[in-house]
Structure 1
């Protein structure tokens, strides 16, 4: 089955076409551009490009996989709205995967690992994975010093992700170069069991983990002295 994969939870704007079979998952085409300010401008052209490269029309898709975050509100919703809209228009199921899983799962090669992405405001989104790649803590958002303490308590021996690169000195764990951003192959692989089983499509609920900066006023303020 041909599956479209999208993720916009980090500065890496990713679209890929994956083929899911009984034997495994392979990528047929992929586009990824790191630009924290251009999610809306880049994702749709990336989707168009991977379909064109593989010679596949949208009607040939059997499912859509999207990274659910955690991630900043504006960027994350671009990918989820795109995936949900295409799924509805094409009448194909949509499946969500925690974006940190697509960083931590492939990195946990026999030892516990911390996956961290940049949450801005001098914080990181984070999760911890055991030696088999299963998430055992998180996802959550905290300042790096708090995350460092949690990681030590969980016996973590390595870290990965853009947030780990940004705050390497504070987190204080051996740093791996890759993956720095969610892997399209990992996203498809983590959803593959549901795809093969033709599981019902899921509502793509974003993992924001914190409230947006802009909130509605709760009461009117008097203009009189």
Structure 2
């Protein structure tokens, strides 16, 4: 099978046509660039397709990086891959950018991939000597990323030297592999390891610009981390503190195994402080739950978390978002209305309370033409 592999998430733009059945690259291009991906990608794809001697009807799958990386670059690559896949009637699969960079290193050694995330932080993910991911992509300080690395670990990525310096360890080795994703290297990994088939951008931190409507004095140290089933215990802990009837880790695992469902954790200086769980189906999405620890409420954390999530949904072609809130929860209603949500229905006796049952207000917000 021939696959078309694409990357625009970081400091390069690359495309390749790979014959994974015979194990060779038919054509590839990769150009380092900090900006201009939008103008470069389509001509680059046209060039590699021509050089490969294959037509789009010969492509069986498209592989693309999902982030972390620049917000604009990540969205561009995903939108291009999704649009092309639909027009060709073929699947598209995603691979996170750090796993893509790990594919650049051929040595069979434990590997940490760390890329500069700005503001003194790094994106980091860890892999064993068989390139199995043992630590999912996260955002942290260099010192935190350098903790608990196995003996003789190699470090790759734009923040590799920073990690080694922060560790103070002489046994860590600086990888000579390229520090950005290269389409010809990661495409087969995304396909053969059955990468993400519901393409979503992996944003581990909010944009450098604060979301519109962020209150003065809101925390400026927040980062956002995508959370999978491995984070079920953390999600359950956060939910249990935020709500009277908290959900268990098993319940979060079950929810996250449903296609289209994803979770985000808000971290304040690396400390989990809030969560958001959402489910997308076509061009609609539902906010299943959102909450913050009681000690961290009234700091604008929920507003930042939801604002950034709404912005991400807009770029995923979601046109309408729904959520439910108890009629007695005036503070939450105020937050949602501030972000453009409006009541569309009520569900009688939806919530079970100690004194009986309580109605739920169903709120909705169209994303088209609205900012967060």
TM range (shorter): 0.7 to 0.9
Corresponding residue for 1:215?
211
Q: Which has the larger radius of gyration?
A: 2
Corresponding residue for 1:17?
17
Q: Distance in 1 between matches of 2:139 and 2:81?
A: 25
Task: Sort the Cα spacing of 1:121 and 1:44 in 2 relative to 1 into closer, same or farther, 3 A.
Answer: farther
Aligned pair count reads: 212
Matched, 1:26 2:24: yes
Q: How does 1:122-201 map to 2 (within 5 A)?
A: 122-151=120-149, 154-155=150-151, 157-165=153-161, 168-170=164-166, 173-193=172-192
Which residues of structure 2 form unaligned runs of 5+?
Answer: 216-337, 339-372
Q: Distance in 2 between matches of 1:44 and 1:170?
A: 40
| Structure 1 segments (4+ residues) deviating >6 Å | none
Which residues of structure 1 form unaligned runs of 5+?
Answer: 221-225
Task: Sort the Cα spacing of 1:218 and 1:179 in 2 relative to 1 into closer, same or farther, 3 A.
Answer: closer
TM-score by length of 1: 0.83
Q: How does 1:99-114 map to 2 (within 5 A)?
A: 99-105=97-103, 107=105, 109-114=107-112
Task: Sort the Cα spacing of 1:218 and 1:11 in 2 relative to 1 into closer, same or farther, 3 A.
Answer: closer
Task: Sort the Cα spacing of 1:115 and 1:194 in 2 relative to 1 into closer, same or farther, 3 A.
Answer: closer
Give RMSD over aligned pairs: 2.4
- Give, in angstroms, the shift of residue 160 of structure 1: 0.9
Task: Sort the Cα spacing of 1:156 and 1:69 in 2 relative to 1 into closer, same or farther, 3 A.
Answer: farther
1:5/1:65 contact within 8 Å kept: yes
2:146/2:164 contact within 8 Å kept: no
2:143/2:163 contact within 8 Å kept: no
TM-score by length of 2: 0.52
Considering Cα pairs closer than 8 Å and 6+ residues apart, tell me whether 1 or 2 has the greater RCO: 1
Q: Distance in 2 between matches of 1:171 and 1:39?
A: 34
Instruction: Give 1:74's match in structure 2, choosing from 72, 75, 93.
Output: 72
- Give, in angstroms, the shift of residue 193 of structure 1: 2.7
Q: Distance in 2 between matches of 1:135 and 1:32?
A: 25
Q: Distance in 2 between matches of 1:218 and 1:123?
A: 22
Q: What is the CA deviation profile of residues 136-186 of structure 1, one whole-angstrom value per residue up to 9, with x for unaligned ones?
A: 1120111212212243xx445211122215665335532111132223233
